[in-house]
């Protein structure tokens, strides 16, 4: 029986008050019995009506609106949310290190959209800076247009490595370190340094040949990235980048100067004083001594331009936690400039992934991770006795492998680093993405409900059903909690627990062999659980599969 307890005032004879109150209250169609015991008034809810009302929202499988009409969401300040995520650097292959920003940002965008926000998904590419001077100069020496057309990003990667040559020895370095090594080489190689400066000067002065090569780098990079995003089931509304805000960055500098916010440091750089006492103890550099802008200057310009262009109500940046100070300074400067909307800008930081390796060694590119996940999952499926026949087993293996990647990443707090583990990630049992997909496929095997009226239930098993029902119906609470702190762990752990409850319910609440009305009620429960599981997986960025 379900009981809700009403506590009485602390003054007077509590026991007597409780008995008097219980005597005054009368049972009705909802409350079967009212009693008092030791100062506590207990209400016993009509079990049949309770289960029936809880089952009512459960429609057919695939109901994408289930749980989203809750009154919990009435106080959400819905509007336009701009989410900036992924944001790799052009002229590089998609490094595995960008995986977290990509899937976390996608989760936040999916969550906001499901709750009724107007969501703008933006990929802000790192497409400007001296590294392109180095790359342009290097391409002039080592590049080949024919090879660029055949395998564009791989060739640019090779060009980058060639720039790292010292005394005819090739430094094979991780792609994240390539530009660092290029800059180090430029420090010791005057010819390369001058060539890079010259190429970047040509870029800034909009000289046709340099701009044409840079545009070629940018276009082929975006095209290559879109193939990876397609595999992940991710899309963007806008591809932007630092290069879009070069002129606006100079205007930001002028605004800072006119507002008296721009100071000159001892080194001749332009800085904004962020110290509480105005004593220059904490400054942010926004201008080099030669008058050129920096990354944060372009971020200031980008934020202001986005507000004017998209009229967002909130903006969310998804990057690793090493950039927390950068965004803190960004928001402080925007507020100092009088942009009060900066209070509605937020940085969602995340930790690092440790030990991500494939069978061939250290991971460099995200494509390698996706290929490895698909191959391992396909191998696991081929060895399983329960694997069903599928039209495209490789596609299923890809989807299940990606779901395993996402669940492993999302189980803990975003700011925590975590250790990557292939074997644990791809287990069919336990709290994994494979378990989510397996449970979903099993629920999909049930027929759709044909009755919308719930009648008599088997009394010996309905206590279990009520517990499962209450848990499934708490889906809206989990979404609300996720919307407050933008942490996917709440939804992941809810779905994993739901899968464990479903596994238990399969044994305790059989459909086959039960009276028709009982079978229909149970089918409605399983159909509802299937909808919740599928909808939750989609918000996480996982594509549910029907067979595996």
Task: Give Cβ neighbours of residue 144 (< 8 Å, ≥ 6 apart).
Answer: 155
Instruction: Please report, for residues 86, 234, 348, 478, the alpha-carbon distance to residue 492 in angstroms, rounded to integers and kept in the order given.
Output: 21, 19, 18, 10
Helix (H, G, I), strand (E, B) or coil at 36: strand
Directed axis angle between helix 295-310 and helix 246-258, to 10°? Answer: 100
Q: Tokens 């290559």 label which residue?
A: 224
Catalytic residues: 92, 95, 98
Cα 311-316-320 angle, rounded to 5 deg? 150
- What are the residues facing 80 on neighbouring strands? 118
Cα 253-254-260 angle, rounded to 5 deg? 90
Cβ atoms 494, 478 nearer than 8 A:
yes
Cα-Cα-Cα-Cα dihedral sign, residues 259, 264, 265, 267: positive
One DSSP character per residue, 535-548 reads: HHHHHHT----S--
Instruction: Could you list the beta-strand ranges (E) of 213-326.
Output: 238-241, 262-264, 270-273, 283-287, 314-320
Task: Give Cβ neighbours of residue 176 (< 8 Å, ≥ 6 apart).
Answer: 95, 97
- Spatial separation of the C-alpha atoms in residues 474 and 323, rounded to whole Å: 35
Cα of 276 vs its chain's centroid, Å: 34
Q: In the structure encoding, which two tokens stand for residue 499, read together? A: 């899968």
Cα of 25 vs its chain's centroid, Å: 50
Directed axis angle between helix 475-485 and helix 99-114, to 10°? Answer: 120
């Amino acid at each position: 029986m379900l009981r809700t307890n009403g506590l009485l005032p602390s003054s007077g004879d509590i026991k007597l008050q409780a008995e008097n109150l219980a005597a005054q209250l009368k049972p009705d169609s909802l409350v079967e019995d009212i009693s008092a015991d030791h100062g506590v008034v207990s209400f016993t809810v009509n079990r049949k009506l309770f289960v029936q009302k809880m089952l009512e929202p459960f429609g057919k499988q695939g109901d994408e609106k289930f749980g989203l009409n809750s009154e919990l969401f009435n106080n959400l300040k819905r509007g336009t949310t701009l989410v900036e995520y992924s944001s790799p650097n052009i002229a590089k292959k998609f490094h595995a290190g960008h995986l977290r920003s990509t899937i976390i940002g996608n989760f936040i965008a999916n969550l906001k959209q499901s709750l009724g926000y107007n969501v703008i998904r933006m990929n802000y590419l790192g497409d400007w800076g001296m590294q392109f001077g180095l790359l342009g100069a290097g391409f002039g020496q080592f590049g080949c247009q024919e090879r660029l057309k055949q395998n564009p990003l791989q060739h640019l990667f090779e060009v980058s490595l060639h720039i790292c040559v010292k005394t005819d020895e090739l430094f094979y370095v991780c792609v994240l370190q390539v530009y660092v090594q290029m800059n180090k080489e430029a420090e010791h190689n005057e010819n390369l340094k001058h060539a890079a400066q010259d190429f970047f000067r040509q870029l800034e002065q909009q000289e046709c040949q340099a701009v044409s090569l840079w545009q070629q780098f940018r276009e082929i990079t975006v095209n290559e990235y879109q193939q990876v995003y397609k595999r992940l089931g991710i899309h963007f509304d806008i591809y932007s980048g630092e290069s879009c805000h070069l002129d606006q960055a100079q205007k930001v500098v002028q605004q800072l100067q006119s507002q008296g916010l721009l100071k000159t440091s001892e080194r001749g750089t332009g800085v904004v004083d962020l110290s509480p006492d105005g004593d220059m103890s904490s400054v942010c550099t926004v201008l080099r001594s030669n008058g050129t802008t920096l990354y944060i200057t372009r971020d200031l310009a980008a934020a202001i331009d986005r507000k004017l262009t998209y009229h967002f109500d909130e903006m969310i940046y998804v990057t690793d936690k090493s950039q927390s100070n950068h965004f803190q300074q960004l928001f402080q400067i925007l507020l100092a400039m009088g942009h009060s909307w900066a209070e509605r800008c937020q940085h969602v930081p995340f930790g690092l992934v440790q030990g991500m390796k494939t069978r061939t060694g250290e991971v460099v590119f995200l494509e390698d991770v996706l290929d490895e996940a698909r191959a391992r999952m396909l191998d696991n499926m081929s060895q399983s006795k329960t694997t069903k026949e599928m039209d495209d087993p490789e596609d299923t293996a890809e989807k299940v492998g990606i779901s395993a990647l996402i669940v492993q990443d999302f189980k803990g707090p975003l700011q925590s680093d975590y250790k990557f583990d292939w074997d644990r990630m791809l287990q069919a049992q336990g709290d994994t993405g494979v378990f989510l997909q397996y449970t979903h496929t099993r629920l999909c095997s049930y027929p759709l409900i044909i009755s919308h009226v719930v009648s008599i239930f088997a009394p010996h098993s309905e206590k279990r059903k009520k517990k499962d029902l209450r848990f499934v119906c708490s889906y809206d609470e989990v979404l609300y909690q996720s919307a407050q702190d933008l942490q996917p762990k709440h939804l992941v752990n809810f779905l994993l627990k739901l899968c464990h409850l479903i596994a238990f319910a399969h044994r305790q609440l059989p459909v086959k062999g039960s009276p028709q009305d009982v079978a229909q009620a149970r089918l409605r429960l399983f159909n509802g659980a299937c909808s919740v599981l599928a909808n939750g997986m989609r918000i996480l960025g996982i594509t549910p599969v029907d067979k595996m």
